[in-house]
Structure 1
Amino acid sequence: MKANTLTQLKQFTTIVADSGDLNAIAQLRPLDATTNPSLITAAAMQPENRTLIERAFAQARSEGYQHDALIERSIDILTVQLGVEILKLIDGRVSTEVDAALSYDTEATIAKAKELLALYQEYGIAQDRILIKIASTWEGIQAARALEAEGIHCNLTLLFGLTQARACADAKVTLISPFVGRILDWYKKAEGVDSYPISQDPGVLSVKQIYQYYKQHGIQTEVMGASFRSIEQVLGLAGCDLLTVAPNLLQQLENSEIDVIPQLSAEHAAPHQDHHVVLDEVTFKAEVEHDLMASQLLQGGIDGFIKARQQLHQLLASAMAHAEISV
C-alpha cells in the first residue's frame, strides 16, 4: 500500500505542528510543536481550555499580582500551561514566544525568556524541551545570543530573508523560522499577480536560499520553514531541516498520495568559496531597512502579535469583570 504524502515527507524532514489546538496535536502526533500569540489567543477561546485559564488566574493571584499585572501574568502562565499540555502529546520540543512588545528590548527579552523557563520548571519540564521564540530584530537576535550562551535554546521567528538569517547564525541560535506564506502574500500584492509556480514562489525561494547558505558555510543553526499557504509550498521545501505546518495542511498531506521528491539536501550543498561575514548592528539594520518586503513584514508581524496578545488581555479582563472566571 502506498504511503500517504505526510508519511513520505517525514522521511526527509522533521514535521512540526504549528498550532495550540490540543485536539489537533493529539490526532496528528508531530515530533515538535510551535505556538505564537495568535495561536494562544485562539486556544484560549476554546471552551475545553477554560480550566487552564482558571488555573492561570489562580496562580497569578496567589503570587500577589493585581489589576493589569494580574492579567499579564495570567497570560504568561496560560501560555506555559498550554505548552505543558502540548508536551504531554509529543516527544520533542515546544516553541513558546516572548511577548512581541519586547522585540526591540534585548534585556527585557532575556528577562521574559527566563520567566517563562522558570514557569516551565515549576511544572517539571526540562529546559531542553523548550525553544524560546523571539522576533528576528537586531535586539531580539542579541537576546538570543546571550540566552544561547547560557544553554537556553531559541527559535528566531518573523524572519524574511538572508540578512536576518546570517545574523542568527552569528548568534549561534538553535533554530530559525523563515516565513514562506507571508512573503508570497507580499509579492502577490506588490506585483499584482494571483499566483506563482512553486519553482518561482518567492517564499519558497527565500527559504531555499537560506538553507543553501547555511549548509554551504557549515552553519549548525537549523532551518524550519514556516507560514505555509498550501501543501505545494510545503512539498516545495521537502528536505528542509524542519517544517512547521498548520493542522489543516497536515491533514491535507495525510489525505494525499502525491509522491514526495526531496528539494533540499545538505549533501548537495557544495562548500562555498566566500567566507561568512559577521554582520554588525549598523549593517544589519541598513540591509533590513533597504529590503522593503523584509522590513514591512517584520514590523507587521510584531504588530500583529502585539494585537493578538492585547485581544487575549481583553478577553481575560472581560471574563474576570463578568465573574466568568472564579479567582
Structure 2
Amino acid sequence: MPTVNLLEYLDSRTQVDIDTYSAEGCLTSASKEIGPFQDATGNQLEVQAEIVKPSRSAVLKRSLALAATIHPQFANLNLEELAVEVVLQMPNVKCTPQVYIKKRDVNLRTPGSHLICQIVDPDFDTSRLVTKIPTTWEGMQAARQLKQSGIKTLATTLFSMEQAVLAGEAGCISISPFVHELKTETYKGYKDSNPILSVCVQAQQFYRQNSLPTRVKACVTLSIDELIMLAGVDALTIAPAVLKELAAIERPQEELDSMSLFAINAKATEAVSYPSYIDSESQYRVEFAASEGGKAQFKTAQAIALFCDAQTAVELYVKSQLEDYSYTPITL
C-alpha cells in the first residue's frame, strides 16, 4: 500500500501555519525545508517562555531601547507595556523573508501593533497584519468596529458554534477554535474530556453554506492523529517541533483519507440553522452560557485568564530588565 509523508499530506489538504514567536524557530524550520508557511501566530504563553532565553537577550535589549525611543508616541501605555509590544513584533518582521513566500498574514494582539511593526521595519506590509481578539461579546463588537476601519481580525479562544457564528457576523477573517482547553498545554497531565473537533467541521460548513468569508484555523491539538482528523480544515497552526515530527513520518494515504473528518468526496450536508447574534446580546449570552453544558464559557474564561497571567509575567520581567539597565534612545 503506497505511503505519503504526513506533512506533505496535510499541506495538500490544509493551509499549514507555523505557531511560534521565535524568529530562530522560523529560520530553522525554513532551513530544514519544512516550510514555507502561509501565516504565523503565537501567544503570550509562548512569549513568556521565549523572552527569558539567553539567545533572546540581544533582541530584548534592542527592543527595550526602541521602546524607550518611541514611548512619547504611545502615551496610553507605560514603558514596560510598550516594550512587550515591541518584543512581540521582532519575530514577525525577522521571519518574513524566509517563511512567508506567499506573503500572507501575521497574527498580532492589538491594533497598535500595526504602527509598531512599521517603526521596527518601515518596509513591512501592514496589510498582512491580523489582530487577535478573544471571542467574547465585547471582543466581537470591537472586531466589528475594527473591520469598518480596515483592520483584519481573528477570533481566538473559541470553543463553541455560538462564538463561531458571532465571529462570522462580526467580520473576522478567521477563527481559531481551540480543540482542547488551553490548560492542556500549560499543566502537564491535565486532560480535556470534551475536545471540539466537531466544532471545526460545523463552523467551516456554516461559513460556506452562508457564503461568509471567515476561515477556520484550528489550534491546540494534542496528537498527530488529531491533526490528520482535521485534514481539510481551512488551516492548522502547528508548533515547529510537531512540524518536524510530521515531516519524519509516512503512512498509507488510504488510512489518512479514512481518518479525516473532512472527507475528500463528501456530499453537501443539510444546512445547519443558527440565529443571528450580532445585534442580540441577551440571546447570545444565554445560548453561549448553555453551550456544551456550560463548558464552552468556562474554557473561554480559563484561556483568557491564562493568557492574562502570562502577559502580566512578561511585563514584570521586562520591567525588571528596564530597571536593571539604562537604555540610550536609538536613532530610527
Are 2:176 and 2:219, in contact at CA under 8 Å, matched by a contact in 1? yes
Distance 1:266 1:223, change over 3 A: farther
The residue that corresponds to 1:304 in the other structure is 306
**Partners of 2:246 and 2:40 in 1: CA distance:** 17
**Partners of 1:218 and 1:137 in 2: CA distance:** 23
Residue deviations 1:14-56 (CA, integer Å, cap 9, x gap): 0011111223222143221111111122221222222221122
The residue that corresponds to 1:321 in the other structure is 323
The residue that corresponds to 2:114 in the other structure is 117
Aligned pair partner of 2:64 in 57, 60, 68: 57
Are 2:146 and 2:153, in contact at CA under 8 Å, matched by a contact in 1? yes
Are 1:87 and 1:93, in contact at CA under 8 Å, matched by a contact in 2? no
The residue that corresponds to 1:41 in the other structure is 48
Distance 1:181 1:62, change over 3 A: same
Structure 1 stretches of 4+ moved >3 Å: 183-186, 193-196, 265-269, 271-276
Residue deviations 1:171-193 (CA, integer Å, cap 9, x gap): 1210000110228969xxxxxx9
- One-letter code of the match for 2:50? A
Residue deviations 1:272-324 (CA, integer Å, cap 9, x gap): 4565531111111112222321111111111111111111112112223333x
Is residue 243 from structure 1 mapped to residue 236 from structure 2 by the alignment? Answer: yes
Are 1:184 and 1:202, in contact at CA under 8 Å, matched by a contact in 2? no
- One-letter code of the match for 1:146? Q
Is residue 284 from structure 1 mapped to residue 284 from structure 2 by the alignment? Answer: yes
Gapped runs of 5+ residues in structure 2? Answer: none
Q: TM-score, normalised by structure 2?
A: 0.82
The residue that corresponds to 1:232 in the other structure is 225
Are 1:179 and 1:226, in contact at CA under 8 Å, matched by a contact in 2? yes
Q: SS at the partner of 2:237?
A: strand
Distance 1:229 1:90, change over 3 A: same
Residue deviations 1:64-97 (CA, integer Å, cap 9, x gap): 469x811111011111222212323321321112
Is residue 147 from structure 1 mapped to residue 146 from structure 2 by the alignment? Answer: yes
**Partners of 1:139 and 1:86 in 2: CA distance:** 32
Aligned pair partner of 1:85 in 94, 107, 110: 94
The residue that corresponds to 1:22 in the other structure is 23
Q: TM-score, normalised by structure 1?
A: 0.83
Residue deviations 1:199-218 (CA, integer Å, cap 9, x gap): xx732122122222222222
Q: SS at the partner of 1:10?
A: helix
CA shift, 1:269, in A, is 5.9
Distance 1:202 1:70, change over 3 A: closer
- One-letter code of the match for 1:288? F
Are 1:9 and 1:238, in contact at CA under 8 Å, matched by a contact in 2? yes
Q: SS at the partner of 1:6?
A: helix
Are 2:183 and 2:303, in contact at CA under 8 Å, matched by a contact in 1? no
Distance 1:38 1:183, change over 3 A: closer
**Partners of 2:150 and 2:167 in 1: CA distance:** 16
The residue that corresponds to 1:171 in the other structure is 170
Are 2:181 and 2:303, in contact at CA under 8 Å, matched by a contact in 1? no
CA shift, 1:118, in A, is 1.2
- One-letter code of the match for 1:252? E
Q: SS at the partner of 1:63?
A: helix
Percent of matched pairs sharing the same residue: 24
- One-letter code of the match for 1:10? D
Are 2:43 and 2:307, in contact at CA under 8 Å, matched by a contact in 1? yes
- One-letter code of the match for 2:22? D
Are 1:127 and 1:152, in contact at CA under 8 Å, matched by a contact in 2? no
Gapped runs of 5+ residues in structure 1? Answer: 99-112, 187-192
Are 2:19 and 2:239, in contact at CA under 8 Å, matched by a contact in 1? yes
Aligned pair partner of 1:70 in 75, 79, 85: 79
Distance 1:54 1:156, change over 3 A: same
**Partners of 1:176 and 1:286 in 2: CA distance:** 21
The residue that corresponds to 1:97 in the other structure is 109
Residue deviations 1:141-170 (CA, integer Å, cap 9, x gap): 111111122221111100001000000111
**Partners of 1:69 and 1:154 in 2: CA distance:** 25
Q: CA RMSD in A?
A: 2.7
Is residue 256 from structure 1 mapped to residue 249 from structure 2 by the alignment? Answer: yes
Q: SS at the partner of 1:142?
A: helix
